[in-house]
Amino acid sequence: MTRDSESTRQKLIDALDGIILEQGFEGVGVNAVAKRAGVDKVLIYRYFGDLDGLLTAFAEEKDYFGRLNRVIGDMDTGGGPDALMAIARRILTEQIHHLRRSPELLEIMRWELSTRNAVTERLAAQREEQATAITHVLDESIERGDVDAPALMSILSAGINYLALRAETIDVYNGVPLKTEDGWKRIENAMLFLLDVLGEAFYGETDDGC
């Protein structure tokens, strides 16, 4: 792809970004995106195939959950209980930070909660593939048959998602401020505490300094 082509492609993604932030996904359309980007709408089809292709490119660029391998980096999944719990801590901590600094991701989540289409199904499948690969390693390392690591991680992750979404419309949840750094630090600390408790249940004591 030439530099001009890449520039136009990014211009269309940025135009879509602006529309979503201002109007939500309800305001998205081929004509609206092309007009905001200042280009012919035929370029949407040339670079993305169709509007769904553009939406997918935008969502994948902004989505945290579908890129967990990038978040984990080169962390060692074979390094034993301490390494595995460190991965769990990093995943959920980065989830909190990314949700709080990415209003686009919150809009994507709201869109996924309200509709089902080819784009949201693709995102869900991609996330599931990434998350399952990680929780499978965690689950396989636990010898206790009564522990369901994927379900426990799902509860923690879903709790973070819900609180981040609710922070858009309420100030306080169960006495915890959702619009302040102190409030979110409390949530992060509580999440880390719960992971330490789970780590002890999974493996016995682990090094919580990971």
- List the single range of 103-107, 140-144, 187-191, 203-207 with lowest mean pLDDT: 203-207
The hierarchical CATH code for the domain 3-58 is 1.10.10.60
> What are the backbone angles phi and psi of residue 204, rounded to the nearest 5°?
90, -170
* CATH class of the domain defined by 63-203: mainly alpha
Q: How confident is the model at residue 1 (pLDDT cuts 50, 70, 90)?
A: low
Query: What is the reported pTM?
Result: 0.84
Taking alpha carbons only, the member of 184, 208, 188, 185 closest to residue 198 is 208
> Residue ranges per domain, the chain?
3-58, 63-203
Distance of CA 154 to CAs 68, 128, 148, 188, Å?
14, 11, 10, 16
- In the predicted model, is pLDDT for residue 7 greater than 70? yes
